[in-house]
Structure 1
């Protein structure tokens, strides 16, 4: 039996993938030789008319606004060929799979149940649904690539964030049913004997490489990573996306060379190799030997978590403990403060630990991604406004998006003059 919650979710996902039936087909406009179909336009118009923005407009103004947005999107997509942007079917397929898996995980269902929901609500097989979803995701990816190429990422100054907040304070979204959380993250680490013994194995493998044994062969036999079957090939990564210690090791290597000493990260010991370079990144390979904690290591961290939970009596004490013990670098310096979350937008792993907490209470230790976490519910509100003091990070992101959109809009207006736009719809 498919729940109403899942059914509603699938229906929502279908919006934008499938046009509502119309009696008359035709072309609303042509942009750079590519048509905007009347049915596509009407479908967008119906959805726009349900938004608050449309409420103060006449029907003619609504039509003009919707058609103008669709023309601008086509103008944006016209850059795909001009900028030689290529998105492979494999990239799209991976995004579709990831998207569907995320939906299933958020609803705590398996893929088979999601497939039943799609069939029941849309009358489509999963293959058909993936195809429709793929078209939508490809369009989003293309727009994102054009945006990244021409706009990039803008990092607003504090002054720009302050100005944005002052100008748009009254229109910023409110938060509903929200909680203020702090946490202490205590990762489970192997003891020094395990770390040292794994390092010795890595050094022995480097000796084998020095004797002429192929890197790919050793990776296939010894690497404890999903890339082992491919000889340890990690593919291309832009600078800043790999572990800093690993990047530091490969930045000094010539193409085809491997590091003479193993590299330590949170995963274990890596033997790093450079396969090739581009202007914006490096293609590398690795042999990974993991340092895996024992049950004794886990028990010691759990005992520390229990001790902290039992002895912390106030918010100040929690903050001091977070600064001393927590290894989450993004929050420990501010006493473990994670910030405000709407309950329906929280990280899935956070939901259960804090679900039944009262303000001021600390959760039982919970295991998330190889670490024990303690959560403290600092505050809870049904409705709240965003403020610079408590939500600077969120507002900074909004300001960045606003500035990026302004830059992109200026480019679109410039590009619009460079392509032929023919409006055919007269009613």
Structure 2
């Protein structure tokens, strides 16, 4: 097995959390979260930059105003890049504070369970973020320092995010079970109705119902949800209603989920919106979490094949490992020369790979065989997936060294029975995990003693 297939990343942490807005940023334009990112030409005053105070205590553990500010700046930066409108800054600051409170309570839960993040795991996470930005770990640290951020504080936050990921994975592992009969039913439905071909774009308002709520309180919350549904049906701005009333995380951005296959949506939502036209409102709907009001923004068919299929890629690469004998800059320069030789017809990729590549695939001319999504580390796979057959990449930095990639072929292949069952298991588990994590996070938050001291000043 080639080395790039051996080390798996922290997928949800590094892809989903987008720590420090690094994952989708190139090495040339890397920008970490700093106040100057948002402020542009307007410099904040010294007092604004340096003031700090406790805004909340979570079981005696403080959350500070500076933590709220840093998270707020990252949220604003990420959503600005996506062109998503945000609520007023003061309102967003309160939502960010609630997110930090919930995370702090979950981290405390992880500590009580004895979960820890060792230095090796932390170093691996740092290395993965650096590699996704085509930086060495040393260059990554220098760039962090150049942006005016404290490396130890950055590492502490990264450690906290890894801890959150581990405790959430533990809760899913303990509570989510998928049996063989569920997998059989999923595959039958996939073959008959092709549920993956139908995608829905929904917006959502959740009025949360605490587990300990009395009948009178439940009735009051149901009335609130009914009021939201009535106002939405009367033509009210659903995004504004979501920001005002929703207890779900996506409420801060208007309640929209984005496009999702119906296999990744709760059955309750799919059934309630089945007969709606675009713009229609469903609800209130009752679930274990509370009362839901849904808006169907649109639906579409994403494909027409009734089979489980996977896109396979056949690629070759040349790997040069960096170290005391070969710097990253020299490796990039050398691979650029090989690339020019192949492009000009003065050399063959296969021969250059056999002669120079430091990967196990060198003896096969760099041939990696047919690969499936997820087989290689993400920084390699993302570049490979953008290449057309016959196309070569620019030199790519990964955690293993510097690569030159060429894609030879690509094909769509029906999955075998084992692969189909693994996909079905993962999708069913994903459906159940969303509800489990929502209920668990609400339970952890409800058990935490939270004392609010002062409003955050963003």
Q: Calculate the TM-score normalised by the size of structure 1.
A: 0.42
Of structures 1 and 2, the larger Rg is shown by: 1
